[in-house]
Structure 1
Amino acid sequence: MTEKIVCPVDRTMNLINKKWSILIIRDMFFGKKHFKEFKEDKDISNKVLSGCLNELEENGIIEKSVLNTKPVSTQYHLTEYGKSLNKVIYELAMFTLNNDTEKDYSDKTRQDLKDTFKKTLGIND
């Protein structure tokens, strides 16, 4: 019997392929988040957000904590496995910042964003 080889890029994309997953992961590099915080700058329904969070949790990328507050609330954070996506997210950001053909960013804004991503994601040159 021969071993079926699965492309590692395909495997990674299957972990993060939902429309909002990579943005949710990116947001969590800035710290723990409550459910409602994910919605602040996104046009995403509760149902879709809940589904994304559940899938990321099932894949071991995030963990959910139920807080003993009134009313009860949940908080999400990246696992070590989830944090290992830092270079993927960094390279996605750098692709746009280094190849911005639309000129959406001034040179200062571009550099500020590069510095912010590098610091937040813990990227060392």
Structure 2
Amino acid sequence: MIKKYININNNRKFIMTFFDFDVTYCPVELSLQLINRKWVIQIIRDMFFGKKRFSEFKEGKPELTNKALSRCLRYMEGEGLIEKITDEEDKRVNYYILTEKGRSLNRLIYDLVVFTLDNDDDPTHYSEKTKEETKQIFREKLGV
């Protein structure tokens, strides 16, 4: 354990305690390793908004290549965030759905939305009314 002290009026005061641990196993680090891969959060957000198909995930993302999206979806499936389902009637058609693990990111995504809106001081991005409407839309879609 690492302790920090400061001197106030010649009295030594304890201010913080830090645990000396391997940052590799820090919960924040582990979470970021899971979701920090490019496109993961955007695809999960899109799934909360109803997108399920490969072509739908590409909408509005011209820089997302087919190869990158395929890799990302395989990664997300391997990490247990999504499940790939093949259409019974047309085996060439695949759908992707969030698993329970993927759905559990709803609060994190909502908190990112709130953080961004609450800390965006540029009035050209969002009006106060638009900020509240955006929060409401995300609350409904994310189920928070």
What is the TM-score of this pair, normalised by structure 1? 0.90
One-letter code aligned to 1:87: R
| CA-to-aligned-CA distance 1:40-76 (integer Å, 9 cap, x gap) | 1112000000111110000000000011344711100
Structure 2: unaligned runs, 5 residues or longer: 1-20
Q: Which has the higher strand share?
A: 2
1:31 deviates by 2.4
| CA-to-aligned-CA distance 1:5-28 (integer Å, 9 cap, x gap) | 601011111111112110000111
Selected match of 1:45 from 42, 45, 65 = 65
Structure 1: unaligned runs, 5 residues or longer: none
One-letter code aligned to 1:34: R
1:77 and 2:97 matched: yes
Question: RCO higher in 1 or 2 (8 Å CA, sep ≥ 6)?
Answer: 1
- Residue 19 of structure 1 aligns to a residue whose secondary structure is coil
Q: Is contact 1:61–1:82 with CA below 8 Å preserved after alignment?
A: yes
Count residues in correspondence. 121
1:20 and 2:59 matched: no
| CA-to-aligned-CA distance 1:72-102 (integer Å, 9 cap, x gap) | 1110010011100011100111111111122
* Residues in 2 aligned to 1:56 and 1:39: alpha-carbon distance in whole angstroms: 16
- Residue 31 of structure 1 aligns to a residue whose secondary structure is coil
Q: Residues 1-125 of structure 1: matches in 2 within 5 Å?
A: 6-43=25-62, 44-70=64-90, 72-103=92-123, 104-123=125-144
Superposed CA RMSD in Å reads 1.6
* Residues in 2 aligned to 1:69 and 1:25: alpha-carbon distance in whole angstroms: 26
Name the stretch that deviates more: 68-77 or 20-29.
68-77
The higher radius of gyration belongs to: 2
Q: Is contact 1:31–1:77 with CA below 8 Å preserved after alignment?
A: no
What is the TM-score of this pair, normalised by structure 2? 0.78
